[in-house]
Amino acid sequence: MDVNGLTAEVEQVSRGYAARFGIERDADWFVLKLHEEMGELTQAFLALDGRGRAKGLDDRERSARFRAELADVFCHVLLLADHHGVDLTAEVRAKWLDRWGASQGTVGGPPGRSGGGTVDGVQ
């Protein structure tokens, strides 16, 4: 997956959403919107896990809602990073991949976990 390309697409959608509803996307909005989405993810997780209201949704629907809320949080992380000019790929490499590889003498992540894909060519 190309994070930069995905970020550009998400930014375009967010910009259109803001224009449609008259929302000013300033620095506060980006972080507060992420916080709102985290709350929705938490609700979806609790419903999925049986510790929150199911709101009339069956197991399949609760699972779909959880996945959708994960996507919302991910997209809002991309938007927040982009707004502040943060290169997430470089930050992930520095904080997670390089640090883990240096501490374990290996590259590629924790043992027993497959990468499951790439992020801008990083496995």
- Render pLDDT for 3-31 as a digit per residue (tens, 0 to 9): 999 999 999 999 999 999 999 999 999 99
Quick one: pLDDT at residue 30?
98
Which positions ≥6 away from 59 have C-beta within 8 Å? none
Mean per-residue pLDDT for 43-60? 92
Token pair recorded at residue 38: 């985290």
User: In the predicted model, what is the mean pLDDT of residues 46-60?
Assistant: 91
pTM for the model? 0.79
| CB-based burial label for 6 (10 Å; 0-12, 13-18, 19+) | middle
How far is Cα 90 from Cα 96, in angstroms, rounded to an integer?
10
The residue ranges of DSSP E strands in the chain, in sequence order, are: none
Inter-CA distances, 39 with 43, 72, 100, 109, Å: 6, 11, 30, 29
